[in-house]
């Protein structure tokens, strides 16, 4: 980890430097770290568990765990994958504890203004092929959200990380602690499953 300049504004420091300062007793550094990830991590969790209140609780639990485990973190590594791994594990624990996987709400907008910004469905663009109906008909957004919400948890989470969080395959592999090949196969499976569910929905509407 690069040496921290004690005169530098906290907002200009890297995640890893902030965590290192927090370990040395700087409470302000930890507050900056929390604010830095408040929107991105919260929206990921809200879409994962389908409940904004629960997402907020999980967000707080994740950072409590970061605080507790800060001394074990190797600051020569990247902080973000570690944080998302902790948060994703806590989200999965929440879903198991509730003995159900609630439908994920993908209609919430991205950004601080709930009345503006883009919805997740508007960001579902990647190199992987998606059904042409999805690309051409934004008015079907609610149907798309329902289909994505019905995906199995392990497929849904890779879609969220890849499309919403715009993470590269290697970052997703780090976050989920799975091999790179598994990330690729799950993402392709998620897109394929989405296509099949989409076709089934379209067929049922044609009847």
Q: Are residues 85 and 29 in the same domain?
A: yes
Whether pLDDT at 121 is above 50: no
For residue 154, give the CATH number of its domain. 1.10.10.10
Whether pLDDT at 190 is above 80: yes
**Residue 111 maps to a domain:** no
Count of domains forming the chain: 2
Predicted pLDDT at 66: 93
For the chain, where are the alpha helices, taking DSSP H only? Answer: 15-23, 27-49, 52-69, 79-97, 132-136, 141-149, 153-159, 169-176, 180-206
Q: What value does the mean pLDDT take over residues 151-156?
A: 84
Whether pLDDT at 10 is above 60: yes
**Mean pLDDT of the chain, nearest integer:** 75
Q: How far is CA 185 from CA 14, 74, 124, in A?
A: 32, 29, 18
Q: How many residues does the chain have?
A: 207
What is the band of 78 on the pLDDT scale with cuts at 50, 70, 90? confident
Rg (CA), the chain: 19
Better pLDDT: 100 or 8:
8
**Residue 139 maps to a domain:** yes
Q: Are residues 91 and 124 in the same domain?
A: no
**pTM attached to this predicted model:** 0.61
Q: Are residues 73 and 132 in the same domain?
A: no
**Residue 134 maps to a domain:** yes
**Residue 113 maps to a domain:** no
Q: Are residues 127 and 52 in the same domain?
A: no
**Residue 109 maps to a domain:** no
Q: Are residues 19 and 58 in the same domain?
A: yes
Half-sphere exposure in the Cβ direction for 60 (13 Å, CA): 5
Distance separating the N- and C-terminal Cα atoms of the chain: 61
Instruction: Calculate ∠ Cα 171-35-16, nearest 5°.
Output: 50
For residue 37, give the CATH number of its domain. 1.10.1740.10
DSSP, res 102: P
**Residue 107 maps to a domain:** no
Q: How far is CA 147 from CA 55, 107, 134, 191, in A?
A: 21, 12, 11, 11
Q: Are residues 84 and 132 in the same domain?
A: no
User: Rounded to a whole number, what is the largest CA-CA distance in the chain?
Assistant: 68
Given 37, 65, 97, which residue is the final one in a domain?
Answer: 97
Better pLDDT: 46 or 147:
46
Q: Are residues 197 and 128 in the same domain?
A: yes
* Most confidently modeled range among 3-12, 66-75, 144-153: 66-75
**Residue 115 maps to a domain:** no
Q: What is the per-residue pLDDT across 31-55, written as a single tens digit (0 to 9) for each?
A: 999 999 998 899 888 878 878 889 9
Q: Are residues 90 and 126 in the same domain?
A: no
Q: Which residue range(s) make up the domain with 33?
A: 10-97
Predicted pLDDT at 144: 66
């Amino acid at each position: 980890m690069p040496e921290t300049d004690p005169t530098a504004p906290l907002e200009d420091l890297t995640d890893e430097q902030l965590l290192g300062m927090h370990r040395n007793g700087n409470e302000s550094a930890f507050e900056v770290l929390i604010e830095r990830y408040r929107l991105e991590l919260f929206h990921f969790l809200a879409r994962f568990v389908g409940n904004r209140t629960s997402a907020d609780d999980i967000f707080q639990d994740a950072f409590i765990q970061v605080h507790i485990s800060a001394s074990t973190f190797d600051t020569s590594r990247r902080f973000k994958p570690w944080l998302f791994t902790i948060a994703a594990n806590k989200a999965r624990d929440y879903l198991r504890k509730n003995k159900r996987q609630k439908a994920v709400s993908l209609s919430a907008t991205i950004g601080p203004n709930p009345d503006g910004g883009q919805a997740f469905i508007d960001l579902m663009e990647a190199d992987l092929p998606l059904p042409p109906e999805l690309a051409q008909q934004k008015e079907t957004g609610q149907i798309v959200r329902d289909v994505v919400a019905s995906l199995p948890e392990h497929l849904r989470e890779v879609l969220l990380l890849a499309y919403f969080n715009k993470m590269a395959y290697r970052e997703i592999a780090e976050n989920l602690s799975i091999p790179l090949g598994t990330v690729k196969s799950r993402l392709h499976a998620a897109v394929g499953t989405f296509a099949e569910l989409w076709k089934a929905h379209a067929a049922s509407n044609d009847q």
